[in-house]
Structure 1
């Protein structure tokens, strides 16, 4: 966070200088007002000490009192106007500075999230990441603006006050500020005491947001099972926990602040007693001395109150900052190597050599997987749920790196290739096709934003998506709802195929793209896939024999190992897992054909 403050050092310096100028003008205004009091006292009672004019510059002796009073009044008004101008400039510069910090930090978090591996997202709740990029980023901005800059302002403000007070009377100043060390010690102690409470509050907010996000995303499930009352009660419990935690913090702050305020009043008692004695003895002036010091002690107390608030802000912002920088400082697990091999257009040969992988170190998902896919070949991958099919695809795109063995593309280890080049050579259609809240055209062109309308339409035709797109209200300019909620599952899948095809990738990967669609839609998607797989390496993950039989070769995974390999006809003759799968789906037809 200190580095973030240093990055904007000139902006922060400008904010500090404006606030210091504001304080200096305020003190000068008090000094002139005090001078006016001393002059009026002298004019009414000639036996009282004459005013001490600043820098020894006094008005001509032959001026009548009313002229001097007008001159002092003009000075007070001029300084008041200057004070107002500086206050406006300080407010604007502070707002500009804090917003620049906020935008920069939010961009840094978003940028880092784009570069972190799937393993990081597997271990993190989406609601927590959203809260860190939104609420916790505000806390870091508060630290830079409300702590680092504010500490400088408060410190320089107290220094200006101290210099003026010491000029009035050294011993009186030291006596009035005798209780100040207790205020500093108390602030540091309180800051450490409340830190655990602020951390717990942040964690409770994360849980509440997680509950909210789950219920928004799973609204159809909640309503389908008529669980609204229970979910409302669950969220209310989370809300009440936050309220009780906040009330606990508020109670601690409410006890601490009056104690600090009471200590500051000791300073005023000393001023009235000792300062009053010095005024009577004629050692300090009533206006420029006693009056100004009373005001400065009041401001001094306010600044000490600011220190208390800063101590409170430190804990709020430090907890948020820790959570934000946990993201920013997370090592990037999947990156391009130095001197990476460029691969503008791959041929499409993939080779797995003794590949093993596990999301948890002692629980392998893939073990000793070896096979080769020739350029232009279509490979089907089948297997039970949890056998490692989707994991194998994730390794091809380097969403993860193998824990053992290596994967090669056109003879190059994937870890030697530029990551961007690798992924641009692979078009992926996930099992759950995620669509963005944008137009149909923008979703198809997501991976190729410079695509022309004709290219987008061509991709939609090849993906068999054009017929339903033409029936939409604004066709390609139709806005898609969140996650494509206003489209059917088959329509979303066809848009995803068009999105992958538009890249014209040499490798096409489809992860169970027909798992959740009806037979008619499945047939349309299969036709789209047949069009898209021409002249490219294609990998089909599915447990539908109607999809797998179109492949040149089929691999069967079982408990992370390849247990069968061959064409549809070859695997049907081996009577293994693939044959059983076909029997389950086409049992009657198989019996009829056998007879």
Structure 2
């Protein structure tokens, strides 16, 4: 019922603000994060301990081979002098083995903990929050964002937030802790060697910052291209009937192929840049090992540094340090992907909820159905008004038909009643109260909707009818179906009311789908019924069946019906004619036929066409 409108979303978040939001999101799971970081710290300690025991063993073997004194220690531990060498080496080997087993167990616990944090908690909660927000956003948001974009945000972009917490935030903290511990231990071993080996670190920091800024636009473009591909795919599936009907399968494949190739080629460009950056970082870290072999080897030969607990342990720490630094390339890659996706998720979460219940909203039961428009105007942001000074009063139980050309504002007028939008000026009164003062849920439970093309869910017939009233009994569902003249064809289905419908009600005719939609609206027992041209896309015979259902559905309810056929217009208590957002004529069918204007022109054209068709049918012996 809504018409396209521009988005009024907030401006995109800057990276600094976005990162603060992501840290705030992670803070909500701080206990899980602390548990993960504690496990990582224990793993780090065990790794250094295992490395130190290995170095101690090397020094012990060297002392016996070269016949030199042995005075090395690890964490203050010294092998007992009375032990034979075989006992000492066996004890050191068992220690290394036990540490390796403990490390394996803790790695498993770490993997479980990080998975529970990011997959079972954060992703599930965030996806639910985004979906909840989508349910509360107005039609303006959905008019401004295509289906492919919204689906991508709820699925892929939420995973990008997971990537930030898992692969950026947690890994960054782990990296900082690891590098701090490694550097502290290396300084403990030898200050000069540490400074010499880490001389390239400032260059690595600068290179990482430069690359991060360079690659960000690439990831932003990639996300846009991917979204276009999803949209192309979505449209292809939705329009498969049109595609096959016009024999455009080859062109459609080519269109999707172009979108798919654009994503591939752009991703390949990112891959090459990342692939060049990673070796560059690796080459710089290899310089550290060159320095270690030269300077560190000289220190060992000169007797200033032990071989095992000195150079070997230092080499292991430097290797671990280089490994953490090499992961900067992956970290930078993850940062840009996660920031692009997170920004799109927060765009949904930050979108204003334009239509909602006021804090002091009036709770109401069943409404009488009196509707009054008082000088109501409506416009989308920055666009010419769609409705202008609408004055209209409809008494409870009256049926008003709305006629007008495309773009006259008919559907928008009806959209204001359930508050899909709110007027820019003027008031819409329901039973004498401003619609904005009524609780939104209560208001909408009093309104039944039947669209021109009604949507049915992939569920049972009964569930589709009871969609707005899930607690309805079988007897209530059947009663609504009988009012909508749907009971007979439902019973002819394989499982009757328990028949599961295909996507969008595939397998049912247009008239059958409309009758199910009418039953769904009637089951609510609404005070107000809104019918948006429900017979426009069906044939005359089916129209007759629908009218029988509509006559029963309308009885006793305030009804607004957008219509263009005389057979529909004549059923109304009075008719309004709209042009360019204004009501230009109003009255009964008989009154409007006596007035020159749009209504009489439309009626006369339909009467002429109807007479011509009747004459042709008589000539062919059909009547």
Q: Smaller-chain TM-score range?
A: over 0.9
Q: Tell me what 2:390 maps to.
A: 369
Cα deviation, residue 589, structure 1: 7.3
Q: Tell me what 1:66 maps to.
A: 86
Take 1:58 and 1:321, find their aligned partners in 2: how far apart are those partners? 53
**Coordinate RMSD, CA, aligned:** 1.4
Are 1:430 and 1:511, in contact at CA under 8 Å, matched by a contact in 2? yes
| Compared CA separation, residues 50 and 396, structure 1 to 2 (3 A) | same
Are 2:427 and 2:434, in contact at CA under 8 Å, matched by a contact in 1? yes
Cα deviation, residue 473, structure 1: 0.8
Take 1:170 and 1:385, find their aligned partners in 2: how far apart are those partners? 80
Partner-residue secondary structure (3-state), 1:401: coil
Q: Tell me what 1:445 maps to.
A: 466
Take 1:491 and 1:448, find their aligned partners in 2: how far apart are those partners? 20
User: Normalised by the size of structure 1, how large is the TM-score?
Assistant: 0.97
Take 1:555 and 1:154, find their aligned partners in 2: how far apart are those partners? 70
Cα deviation, residue 486, structure 1: 1.6
Instruction: Say which is worse superposed, 423-432 or 561-570, in terms of deviation.
Output: 561-570
Q: Tell me what 1:98 maps to.
A: 118
Partner-residue secondary structure (3-state), 1:557: strand
Cα deviation, residue 51, structure 1: 4.2
Instruction: Say which is worse superposed, 236-245 or 34-43, in terms of deviation.
Output: 236-245
Within-5 A mapping of 1:211-360:
211-360=232-381
Take 1:433 and 1:290, find their aligned partners in 2: how far apart are those partners? 76
Q: Tell me what 2:455 maps to.
A: 434
Partner-residue secondary structure (3-state), 1:331: coil
Cα deviation, residue 441, structure 1: 0.8
Partner-residue secondary structure (3-state), 1:57: coil
Q: Tell me what 2:211 maps to.
A: 190
5+ residue gaps, structure 2, are 1-21, 613-623
Q: Tell me what 2:619 maps to.
A: none
Cα deviation, residue 501, structure 1: 0.6
Cα deviation, residue 590, structure 1: 8.2
Take 2:478 and 2:283, find their aligned partners in 1: how far apart are those partners? 75
Cα deviation, residue 130, structure 1: 0.9
Q: Tell me what 2:480 maps to.
A: 459
2:72 alignment partner, one of 52, 68, 77: 52
Cα deviation, residue 181, structure 1: 1.3
1:206 alignment partner, one of 221, 227, 230: 227
Are 1:398 and 1:414, in contact at CA under 8 Å, matched by a contact in 2? yes
Q: Tell me what 1:83 maps to.
A: 103
Q: Tell me what 2:168 maps to.
A: 147
Are 2:52 and 2:74, in contact at CA under 8 Å, matched by a contact in 1? no
Are 1:35 and 1:51, in contact at CA under 8 Å, matched by a contact in 2? no
Are 1:51 and 1:285, in contact at CA under 8 Å, matched by a contact in 2? no
Partner-residue secondary structure (3-state), 2:391: strand
Instruction: Say which is worse superposed, 424-433 or 379-388, in terms of deviation.
Output: 379-388
Take 2:609 and 2:593, find their aligned partners in 1: how far apart are those partners? 15
Q: 1:25-60: CA deviations, max 9, x gaps?
A: 11111111111111111122222x514222433233
Cα deviation, residue 582, structure 1: 2.3
Q: 1:354-400: CA deviations, max 9, x gaps?
A: 11122353422211110101011111111122211111111111111
Q: 1:394-426: CA deviations, max 9, x gaps?
A: 111111111221111111111111111111111
Are 1:33 and 1:287, in contact at CA under 8 Å, matched by a contact in 2? yes
Q: Tell me what 1:515 maps to.
A: 536
Take 1:84 and 1:462, find their aligned partners in 2: how far apart are those partners? 67
Are 1:35 and 1:288, in contact at CA under 8 Å, matched by a contact in 2? yes
Cα deviation, residue 285, structure 1: 1.4
Take 2:149 and 2:509, find their aligned partners in 1: how far apart are those partners? 30
5+ residue gaps, structure 1, are none
Take 1:494 and 1:289, find their aligned partners in 2: how far apart are those partners? 84
Q: Tell me what 2:446 maps to.
A: 425
Take 1:326 and 1:395, find their aligned partners in 2: how far apart are those partners? 26
Take 1:559 and 1:3, find their aligned partners in 2: how far apart are those partners? 48
Q: Tell me what 1:504 maps to.
A: 525
User: Normalised by the size of structure 2, how large is the TM-score?
Assistant: 0.93
Cα deviation, residue 539, structure 1: 1.3
Are 1:195 and 1:315, in contact at CA under 8 Å, matched by a contact in 2? yes
Take 1:552 and 1:299, find their aligned partners in 2: how far apart are those partners? 83
Are 1:336 and 1:417, in contact at CA under 8 Å, matched by a contact in 2? yes
Are 1:349 and 1:375, in contact at CA under 8 Å, matched by a contact in 2? yes
Q: Residue 565 in 1 paired to residue 596 in 2?
A: no
Take 2:503 and 2:193, find their aligned partners in 1: how far apart are those partners? 68
Are 1:583 and 1:590, in contact at CA under 8 Å, matched by a contact in 2? no
Instruction: Say which is worse superposed, 55-64 or 476-485, in terms of deviation.
Output: 55-64
Take 2:383 and 2:532, find their aligned partners in 1: how far apart are those partners? 26
Instruction: Say which is worse superposed, 258-267 or 162-171, in terms of deviation.
Output: 162-171
Within-5 A mapping of 1:119-138:
119-138=140-159
Take 2:382 and 2:305, find their aligned partners in 1: how far apart are those partners? 77
Partner-residue secondary structure (3-state), 1:396: coil
